[in-house]
Amino acid sequence: MTKLVDKFGREISYLRLSVTEHCNFRCFYCRDDELLPNCKREDILSYEDIQRIVRLFAEMGISKVRLTGGEPLLRRGISKIAKLISTIPGITDVPLSTNAQLLEKFANKLHENGVNRANISIDSLIPERFKEITRGGDVTQVIKGIDAAIAAGMHPIKINAVAMQGVNDDEIESLIDFAIEKGIDIRFIEAMPIGEAGIGMQSHHMSEDDIMDRIKQHLPGQLTPLIASKTDGPASNYKINNTNTTVGVISAVSNHFCQTCNRVRLTAKGDLILCLGQEDSISLKDAVRSNLSDKEIKTMIINAINKKPEKHVFNESIDNISNRQMVEIGG
Ligand code: SAM
Ligand code: SF4
């Protein structure tokens, strides 16, 4: 099997697959209010396109495919897509990233169809605040979605909260307690300057150190560092002693872990993005809809992976990435 190894020796084994640009929330750090998705059905990868692209990636060593979006549960046929992907030989891990507003309805079917685990975004437990951050979300429904995912047997379940000074930083402790009570994991995310929405958040930015100080004050002597696995990505994680919960910070800005990056991203429109913080991309939609053979498309992918940048440029050149929105990229 040809493995996907870039010119810096990093083996690519993880594909983040966005299945839609649409979202039922409008989180103010993620998407610009005026820039609504503007794509026709034929612009979006079909089931057949997705199946072929993922099969080609699997034949080159990709084993993990995360379903993301926009909000992936808004994509018609999401359970069918999960099944198509999870039954491709070589794919062993199919996590979901969701805002969980609709998860209560979908959790069982998705789990039956191969979604083994889930990351669920929840930035506040206070209903009014949650509604403000997401511009319309209902936190009660999200909590029902978390409970449904637990009951369906997805494991592990992680909640993700973007930590923002003056917005929700006073909930770091209560979000940790909530995760402990549910027996699930929690990660705090540093706000990233992606798109105008993300750049606008920089006045609320909390660094990894700011967030970790608060976690340590809340749990003195109760944290055991976890040994980072090669595939952890940009997170430093701790076990909270005598609980079933791990806590961590995803610090793609303060600390970059680009030297161990094992992932690429595919947008709903079929653009293969080689780095979250760089512009490089190629269209795999055009490739699968042309007469190219599997071998020719694999060569295109290998050539693209060879151009994967060494590192992102969040700190040096924000303008470079300001024309992409997180809602289009999938996180
Ligand atoms: N809608 C799903 C959700 O919210 O989980 C999946 C897509 S969302 C783009 C994926 C992740 O990106 C979420 O955890 C969200 O909090 C995170 N995200 C969005 N904008 C961000 C930003 N500017 N900085 C850091 N994380 C961001
Ligand atoms: Fe939608 Fe997720 Fe972005 Fe919020 S973070 S607007 S839920 S895609």
Residue 121 labeled ligand binder: yes
In a domain, 146, yes or no: yes
Question: The domain containing residue 306 runs over which residues?
Answer: 14-329
Could you tell me if the CB of 137 is within 6 A of ligand 1?
A: no
In a domain, 5, yes or no: no
Give me the tens of pLDDT residue by residue for the chain, a chain 331 residues long.
Answer: 778 999 999 999 999 999 999 999 999 999 887 666 667 888 999 999 999 999 999 999 999 999 999 999 999 999 999 999 999 999 999 999 999 999 999 999 999 999 999 999 999 999 999 999 999 999 999 999 999 999 999 999 999 999 999 999 999 999 999 999 999 999 999 998 888 888 888 889 999 999 999 999 999 999 999 987 655 555 579 999 999 999 999 987 877 778 889 999 999 999 999 988 777 789 999 999 999 999 999 999 999 999 888 877 665 544 445 567 888 888 8
The DSSP output letter for 167 is T
In a domain, 285, yes or no: yes
In a domain, 57, yes or no: yes
**Residue from 97, 122, 157, 164 whose mutation best tests the ligand 1 pocket (most atoms within 8 A of CB):** 97
| SS3 call for 225 | strand
Show the 3-state SS of 65-121.
Answer: EEEECCCHHHCCCHHHHHHHHHCCCCCCECEEEECCCCHHHHHHHHHHCCCCEEEEE
Number of domains composing the chain: 1
Q: 31 C-alpha to center of ligand 2: Å?
A: 7
In a domain, 4, yes or no: no
Q: 239 C-alpha to center of ligand 1: Å?
A: 24
In a domain, 148, yes or no: yes
Write the CATH number for 30.
3.20.20.70
Q: What is the pTM of this model?
A: 0.94
